[in-house]
Amino acid sequence: MKTAALMIVWLMALAAAAQTNQGWPVCRDPVRVFGPKATVNLTPLFQWWARQPAHTNGMAYTSAVIDADTNAIPDGDRPLSAWHLVTGTHVGTAGRSWVVNAVIYTSPTSRTNARIILNHPPVVEEQNYYSLPQQLAQINEQIAAAKRAYDADVKEEQQYQDRANHYHRSILAYSTISGNNYSRSALQKQADAAAAASEQQQLEAARNQTEEQIKTMPAENGAYHIEWFAVMLGRTKAGLPIYDLGLVSVNPP
């Protein structure tokens, strides 16, 4: 029964995550690392991209004109011309790389469709997309358990307190000792209830945080959605063009 309830909660969370989320930032993690001495900072490209009239801060560029040549010289002062916005779905693997059914943008108004190889793919982000609903289901189960514990502790506290009051009103010789024992038990249950309430509060904060993460995970039509800037290497593998996302730097210069 518990497993079935957990599965229902997990499926509900997954359904929420499966909606098309478009609140994630497209221009994120500008520093990319390709080796000990090879680092690229995409900040100039991000700044240029944000200035374009069609840029909508994460919304799909569905109105972009199909451009069959992503190698074309970009218009205006666009920097880092080899870096394109790669969006799409992970459909296979090629070693440690992904095969992606992609829509590739050289600008917010110019795109092309292609199947590509993506090096250094966002594996962790994809794993989070599918694991967060399960984490949310577990948190909800823990919240329910904490609430049950709180309710039971409050009930027992009242029972112990009632017994303590009964003995304290009694004139029997042993009544004071018994009353004190029940009073101590009531105080312990009071402390247990406070601990359960505190645990529930912490779990609810964790649930809110997880729900916010799910809302901002890149998703489209029930699947993890890739949306990262990657560099076109000018090489192919199995006839597919190779792009490289690079490693995201945790200590940007």
Please list the pLDDT of the chain residue by residue as tens digits (253 residues).
454 444 444 334 444 444 455 556 788 899 999 988 899 999 999 999 988 886 554 444 444 444 434 444 445 689 999 999 999 999 999 999 999 999 999 998 899 999 999 999 999 989 988 898 888 999 999 999 999 999 999 999 999 999 999 888 887 767 888 889 999 999 999 999 999 999 999 999 999 998 888 877 788 777 889 999 999 999 999 999 999 999 987 654 4
- The answer on 184 and 151 residing in a single domain is yes
Helix (H, G, I), strand (E, B) or coil at 105: strand
- The answer on 172 and 56 residing in a single domain is no
Structural domain containing residue 193 = 132-216
- Those residues whose C-beta lies under 8 Å from the C-beta of residue 176, and which sit 6 or more positions away, are 167, 168
| Alpha carbon distance 106, 112 (integer Å) | 9
Contact 64, 109 (CB under 8 A): yes
- The answer on 78 and 30 residing in a single domain is yes
- The answer on 186 and 114 residing in a single domain is no
- The answer on 178 and 98 residing in a single domain is no
- The answer on 106 and 27 residing in a single domain is yes
Q: What are phi and psi of 57, to 5 degrees?
A: 55, 50
